[in-house]
Structure 1
Amino acid sequence: MTLTRHPMTDRHRRVLLRPGEWALFAQPRAVVGFVVGLVVVDVLLAVVGLYTTVPRAEEALTAAALVLSGAVCVEAMRRLGMPQGMVRDLLGAWWIPVLLLLPPLYSLITPIPLYVLMQYRIQRAVMFRRVFSAAVVALAGFSASSVFHALVPGPVVLLGGVSGSAEGSALVTGEGIGAAVLCAVLFTLCNTVLIAGAIRLSVPEEPRRTTVWDSESLLLDAVEVCVGLIVAVLCALSLLLLLVVLPPVLLLQRSLLFQQLQTAARTDPKTGLLNAVAWERVAKTELARALRTGCPLAVLIVDIDHFKKVNDTHGHLFGDQVLLGVATTLSHQLRQYDVIGRFGGEEFVVLLPGADMAEACRAAERLRTRVSRMALPVNDTTVTVTVSIGVALLRVHGRDLLELMAAADLALYRAKDSGRDRVCLPVAKSVGATVRSAGDPPADTRGG
């Protein structure tokens, strides 16, 4: 797992006014302390390891071979392209053999050249995030390696390294394999917990399931552990077997990155929501299902009031924080199967499958109220924003997506003209298209 630029952590970006000011110190104090503490611990452990580890030629050769294999994978990433956000890779296929085959000191050192290579060959990420990722891998690897070598004492790499045999390698025994599985899982768990901890410190309200705890991430972790163990066993037998295992690892990594690139193509980079094209595609599918089944459906257009003034007063970086804050609020307040997207600029679109007029207006009013309660910090103060929302109902205001979007847009303009910070429905076109009936919410609502 590689932490580059993630929409959640962008919420805490600040404009750097003085040359040489490192972006780390624009983060919340808890994040600064966490990152600095992690790096200091790694450095201290490396110093101790240098004094306590006896260098062996075969171990240095093994470390060099694994780093070289990892460098080939990094180069393959560069050729395919890197998606934005928190990128999942298969570099664990090389970290796990290092922690199993070599003394713990190597787990602290080997991440450095590969992360330097990633920084200058793939993507110039914010430096402290790259350092943090390397420090996380180093500490997780050192911890797991220390446990493994305590359970399986003695060197694992055979003398000569290039052409060994199974005999004498602790890794191919039943006890060694069990310890290896345990420590590979421990490495993955430590790595995940440290990254999740940094994200939670950065954005406490972010749901765990949207970061590193979802089922897909757990499946990828399991695959990474399995691949790493296979590489470790083959490497313990002979370094020449790395030539056999490298192509399949490259293919797996290519498939993984390709999937992430497809996801990135559907996602708005500033908010993490669906972009306009992807939202429209999903919305048309849901609309066709609602027409076929006779179920209700509603469309909301949400617009941030006076957003240009926010940008002009506090800068575009803070404007990005406002966009992210509103997007996060929408995601938290709506149902899991509601379809949310960024329509462009300061506008968001929401599709509410199964929502009738009353439910759509209640949802819109809840969103309006929650957004108005947001307080975003800037320059030792806080800023609040409001939204105006236009609502349109399937069959009442249109029977296709274009008609619904046009009706919701008219309702949004009505909300703007009525003073903003409110929810509106379109004006009925005729008596046969009445917007509300007895017991329905009014066409213009505010405050409850």
Structure 2
Amino acid sequence: MPVAPSLSRPRTWQLWRNPARFLALVLGVDLVTLVWVADEITRPAGDRRDWLVALLLLAVAVVFEEGATHVARLKWRLSSQLKRDMTSVWSVAAAVALPPVPGVTLVVIIYVHLWWRQQRPGGQPAHRAVYVGATVVLACLTAGYAVRAVDGAWTGLPWALASSIAVLIAIVIGTTLNRALVTAALMSLGNHGRSLLGTLDDNLTELSTLCLGGLVAIAAIHEPWLCALAVLPMAMLQRGSFVRELETAAVTDPKTGLINAVGWEHIAQRELGRARRENYGLSVLIADIDHFKLVNDRHGHLVGDQVLRGLARALGGALREYDSVGRFGGEEFVAVLPETDVPAAIEIAERIRARVNTLSVGSVSSVADERLLSVSIGVATVSAGDLADTELTAMLISADRALYRAKEAGRNRVCLADPDAPAPVVPA
């Protein structure tokens, strides 16, 4: 059987295209893990029961991963920088319930299967899969060593509390080491800030997975066959977290991180209904970047995307906590402002305009480019008494007309929708 070209020529491996600090970390961790595993192999490898429990856990893990393959492949293609999976269930169980050699064997086989069936089709490079697997094995060995070091200290505690303490030790030590090594690798590739922490949903999913791992570990110690009961909760947890990611992606603008037009309209309709029920005024504003084509022509589309993100941040900083802003398309942004009359809406719009005037994004700044970065804003406000006969589409049309008046008047200004103008005709 011919060898794949990428494997037959090590010099062409994608691994070598990474920064030197990343290479040093990856190769160092891989080497330490390999040496530790080789040392453990020379020691007693556990009794027959240990290997049978490892085999049972492996069978349950393979059944779960095969059933989740389609969802997992999609998740690998679509999810964020931090890729969460369910393997913590098995690594915690291996650290607590098994000696080092059966435990490491279990983890390695699961990770090889995971990469071959899910990560490889999802585009995960082999060297990253090896590194992540090495961090899990290293965390498993470290946690197992800590558990065995204190073994017997709580033997006399009631209600099998000793097993629970062992699980907590394994979770804390293993997770801390694994997270630290993965974070170090991401930082060596230039990732910084909140992306290293993951979202709240990411971390809650990981914590839930660790809790399931603790339960599986205790079951493996006392009633191994009960480990099979973890499959359904794991499947539901994985699907639930993925659905949440898809829901977020469906209403999020990828360039700015704001909600998209569909998501914003849903929120605005809800705010309009609430304003009617609670009898207060409501405003809608549309902001459009002035001369955005000139920004793209002078500085390129990548800088144009940076300007869009900069404006998104400026909008977020100028609005109130309960206002909702989204990207309407192109260089247009839209916001709904609950509990506002005309003076309040104009004040918010002017605050946005002033903030954009001081904005500097990369090589583009308002001062250096003669206010190249500015926005024109159209505002439509409806008082509480008129909301019953007002639809969101009509407010948007009025705000859009005001926006065009701002453009015609010289740009970089705020215009209010003409209250004396005839009500716009909403297309059927």
Offset at residue 405 of structure 1 (A): 1.0
1:72 to 66, 69, 86: 66
> Which residue matches 1:423?
413
The equivalences for 1:231-246 within 5 A come to 231-236=216-221, 241-246=226-231
| Cα distance, 1:233–1:258 mapped onto 2, change above 3 Å | same
| Cα distance, 1:386–1:24 mapped onto 2, change above 3 Å | farther
> Which residue matches 1:174?
161
> Which residue matches 2:6?
none
Larger mean CA deviation between 354-363 and 270-279 belongs to 354-363
Percent sequence identity is: 31
1:228 to 198, 208, 213: 213
1:124 aligns with 2:115: no
> Which residue matches 2:272?
287
- CA–CA distance in structure 1, aligned partners of residues 327 and 418 of structure 2: 27
Offset at residue 108 of structure 1 (A): 8.4
Question: Which digits, 9 at most, give the CA deviation of each residue in 1:353-401, with x for residues without a partner?
Answer: 2233333333333333434444444xxxx23462414242432698331
| Cα distance, 1:98–1:419 mapped onto 2, change above 3 Å | farther
> Which residue matches 1:408?
399
2:323 to 338, 341, 344: 338
> Which residue matches 1:361?
346
Counting matched residue pairs gives 381
Offset at residue 224 of structure 1 (A): 1.8
Given that 2:135 and 2:181 are in contact with CA atoms closer than 8 Å, whether structure 1 keeps it comes out as no
| Cα distance, 1:327–1:44 mapped onto 2, change above 3 Å | farther
> Which residue matches 2:252?
267
Gaps of 5+ in 2: 1-11, 366-371, 424-428
> What RMSD in Å do the two structures reach over aligned CA positions?
4.3
Given that 1:284 and 1:401 are in contact with CA atoms closer than 8 Å, whether structure 2 keeps it comes out as yes
- CA–CA distance in structure 2, aligned partners of residues 108 and 38 of structure 1: 21
> Which residue matches 1:163?
none
SS in 2 for 1:268: coil
SS in 1 for 2:170: helix
Offset at residue 284 of structure 1 (A): 0.7
- CA–CA distance in structure 2, aligned partners of residues 203 and 370 of structure 1: 26
2:337 to 340, 352, 359: 352
Question: Which digits, 9 at most, give the CA deviation of each residue in 1:404-429, with x for residues without a partner?
Answer: 21122122223333333x23123535
Is the radius of gyration larger for structure 1 or structure 2?
A: 2
Kindly provide the amino acid, as one letter, of the partner of residue 86 in structure 2. L
Larger mean CA deviation between 53-62 and 326-335 belongs to 53-62
TM-score, scaled relative to structure 1? 0.68
Given that 2:379 and 2:417 are in contact with CA atoms closer than 8 Å, whether structure 1 keeps it comes out as no
Given that 2:356 and 2:373 are in contact with CA atoms closer than 8 Å, whether structure 1 keeps it comes out as yes
Question: Which digits, 9 at most, give the CA deviation of each residue in 1:99-146, with x for residues without a partner?
Answer: 43453866985646524543333x336x5xx96687467536634641
Gaps of 5+ in 1: 1-18, 26-31, 156-167, 434-448
Given that 2:268 and 2:336 are in contact with CA atoms closer than 8 Å, whether structure 1 keeps it comes out as yes
Kindly provide the amino acid, as one letter, of the partner of residue 342 in structure 1. R
> Which residue matches 1:16?
none
Offset at residue 309 of structure 1 (A): 3.7
- CA–CA distance in structure 2, aligned partners of residues 142 and 338 of structure 1: 47
- CA–CA distance in structure 2, aligned partners of residues 394 and 275 of structure 1: 22
- CA–CA distance in structure 2, aligned partners of residues 253 and 24 of structure 1: 33
Offset at residue 283 of structure 1 (A): 0.3
Question: Which digits, 9 at most, give the CA deviation of each residue in 1:322-372, with x for residues without a partner?
Answer: 333332343344333221212112222111222333333333333334344
Offset at residue 196 of structure 1 (A): 7.2
TM-score, scaled relative to structure 2? 0.71
| Cα distance, 1:317–1:432 mapped onto 2, change above 3 Å | closer
Given that 1:298 and 1:391 are in contact with CA atoms closer than 8 Å, whether structure 2 keeps it comes out as no
